[in-house]
Structure 1
Amino acid sequence: MRLFALLVLLLYTGLSSALADEYLVGVGDEIEITVYGEPDLTTKVKIARSGLIYFPFLDDIQVIGLSLQQIEHKIYQGLLGDYLVNPQVSVSIVKYRPFFIHGQVVRPGGFSYQEDLRLDKAIALAGGLTNRASKVNWTITRKIKGKTVSIKANIATLIQPDDIIKIEQSFF
């Protein structure tokens, strides 16, 4: 039984880190782009609705729906040869777009996303559950590959930026 629990934990941890590697940039995220040894090329930018960012020496770059590694690669390819011999590009998230929680919580609204955020922490950020809140009837509305889906959630469910969490009222 302990071996099974250990295997589940390892699988879960691996899945969690794989999800973090697959984070896709969206409107409202703020990213920082750094090119090692080129301080003039370091820039912070908030992703606008157009999804385009300006980067010196390159045309505007469409970044919505790309991973950080894909953005790094685009900038690397753009700078390679004409501008730099071997550019070392790094892209990181400075500020994530928010998630939203409404229904039977003390302070419904939008909150800053944090890495490895689970539903129990999201509820805590919203001030906790009200006295009338359901303890199990929680749903998350999320866009996955352009489609809006509704997910039944529990306290361990991972939250993503742009998620809309609904905490229903208990009938008992």
Structure 2
Amino acid sequence: MAALLSGCFAPAANDGGPSAALSPTAAGATDATISRPDQPAPSSYRYRLGIGDRIRVTVFGEEALSGQFEIDGGGAVTLPLIGAVPAENQTLADLQDTLTRRFRGGLLRNPRIVVEIFAYRPIFVLGEVRNSGEYKFRPGLSAFEAVALAGGFTPRADQRRIYIRRRGESEERAHDMARPVPVFPGDNLRVDERYF
């Protein structure tokens, strides 16, 4: 009986949580046939902030310094008293350390700061979808779900593949829609027209 019950509590290979959705293996894959979104993310992977991300900064005991802030077009976040702080390409922990040092520099004696993601930068779904445009990203989002957010395919759409240009890449890459294709904050997705 104990052996039977112990199997009920075995950890799942992938719970579909944000760390699995933001797997660097999937992010760096050049083709969906190479991508392994079913593999858990290595514990060393940490999300890097980008332009358009909104963060929540909590400075304990200093409500006037806390709030929600957006990373601007220059890659910085501007906070009360300390001004603009570079944030693009930093992890949440890196930015938290930077803010702690900046506030400690004569303003606060022993600042305790927490930085969290409030809203990820948007994705863009273009081409042969019913409602091209900007859409909110959520962890675990797939390319198929992103197309659904955009109203689905048009009758002329090539539903077999989707083209994605990831943040930091200059060219888009084709991905097979028959396999799960993960989407990441800031991605540009394009559905091409089908040729008969």
Normalization by structure 1: what TM-score?
0.79
User: What is aligned with 2:126?
Assistant: 102
Partner of 1:124: 148
Give the structure-2-normalised TM-score: 0.70
Distance 2:22 2:135 in 1: 22
Residue 82 of structure 2 aligns to a residue whose secondary structure is: coil
Identify the residue that residue 69 of structure 2 maps to in structure 1: 45
CA contact (8 A) 2:122 2:137 kept: yes
Partner of 1:60: 84
Contact 1:143 1:149 in 2 (8 A): no
Alignment of 1:6-25 (within 5 A): 9-10=13-14, 15-16=20-21, 19=24, 22-25=46-49
Of structures 1 and 2, the one scoring higher in RCO (CA 8 A, sep 6+) is 2
How far is the alpha carbon of 1:50 from its aligned partner?
2.1
Offset of residue 113 of structure 1: 1.4
CA distance in 2, matches of 1:16, 1:137: 20
Pairwise mapping of residues 18-37 of structure 1 onto structure 2 (< 5 A)? Answer: 19=24, 22-37=46-61
After superposition, give the CA deviation of every residue in 1:59-87 in whole Å (9 maximum; x if it has no partner).
Answer: 53111121211111111222347444543
Q: In the alignment, what sits opposite 2:10?
A: none
3-state SS in 2 of match to 1:22: coil
Distance 2:79 2:195 in 1: 54
Could you say what the CA RMSD is over the residues aligned between the two structures, in angstroms?
2.9
After superposition, residues 133-152 of structure 1 pair within 5 angstroms as 133-144=157-168, 147-152=169-174
Which has the larger helix fraction? 1
Structure with greater proportional strand content: 1
Which one-letter code corresponds to 1:129 in the other structure? F
> Number of paired residues?
165
Structure 2 residues without counterparts, runs of 5 or longer: 1-12, 25-40
